Amino acid sequence: MGMLDGRIALVTGGADGIGAATVRRLAAEGATVVVTDINGEGAAQLATEVGGIGLHHDAGSEADWQRVMEQVRERFGRLDVLVNNAGVGGGGAGDIEGQPLADFHKVMRVCVDSTFIGCKLAIALMKEHGGAIINISSVHGIRAAGYETAYSTAKGAVRLLTKSVAQHCAGYGIRVNSVHPGYVLTHQVQKWIDAQPDPRAVMAGLLAHHPIGYLGTPEDIANGILFLASDQAKFMTGSELVMDGGYLL
């Protein structure tokens, strides 16, 4: 018997990285998973693998969200778990002097707008029976990074948005929590490391920030998301699950 038997879950940014690991973890515990991603083909392939549904989804678009949620409503009539995982880094120069306003707006749209819209629309599909919303923030949503102005701002906003929504939703039996990963060795992070002039030095610098001695894996974070989605976390709402290998110590 799985921890999520019979439940309907939706994971944004689900085609790769933490999102894909989460899709597989939730499905392994019995959930039917709606996989959404800007990479619609990748979402469809993973959905086929886990017996779910894959949808193309620009998570920063309210119209796209409405289309996705309407398909969930028509197919299942309910939603039990929402994982707002879609996100993007700043790219290029990330400090306040070097970051273009257009990049700042892009990060806010994909990280913050998407979470706001997802929470707002999920409530209508959850409020009659309860549910769990998990918003993916970051250690940089707690401790800012001067080289990631937009990303730190966005993930800090996700952190407090989560608490605001949790207060509002408590009477509906909808739990809303945030997850704050440290650096996770996804394909995107590895690609960024490999593109640096001295990848070994960059990796050494990242490891130095994590007292546990290694970077996280997508599966590590997926395990925490599963916990928050399950009844094992039924007394948690508005909480921050920090999974950072000691980064914030």
Place of tokens 């640096």: 196
CB-based contact 64:58 (threshold 8 Å): yes
Element (DSSP H or E) covering residue 81:
strand 81-84
Of 34, 18, 37, the residue nearest 225 (C-alpha): 18
Interatomic CA distance for residues 222 and 203, integer angstroms: 23
Interatomic CA distance for residues 85 and 79, integer angstroms: 16
Supply the DSSP symbol for 144: -
What b-and-e string marks burial along 144-162, b requiring 16 or more CB atoms within 10 Å of the CB? Answer: eeeebbbbbbbbbbbbebb
CB-based contact 152:196 (threshold 8 Å): no
Is 214 assigned a catalytic role?
no
Of 138, 178, 182, 144, the residue nearest 161 (C-alpha): 178
CB-based contact 107:152 (threshold 8 Å): no
For residue 242, the SS3 value is: strand
Which residue in the list 151, 183, 214, 247 is annotated as catalytic? Answer: 151
Element (DSSP H or E) covering residue 15:
none
CA angle (16 as vertex; 11, 22 as ends), nearest 5: 45
Q: Any idea which residues carry the catalytic annotation? A: 151
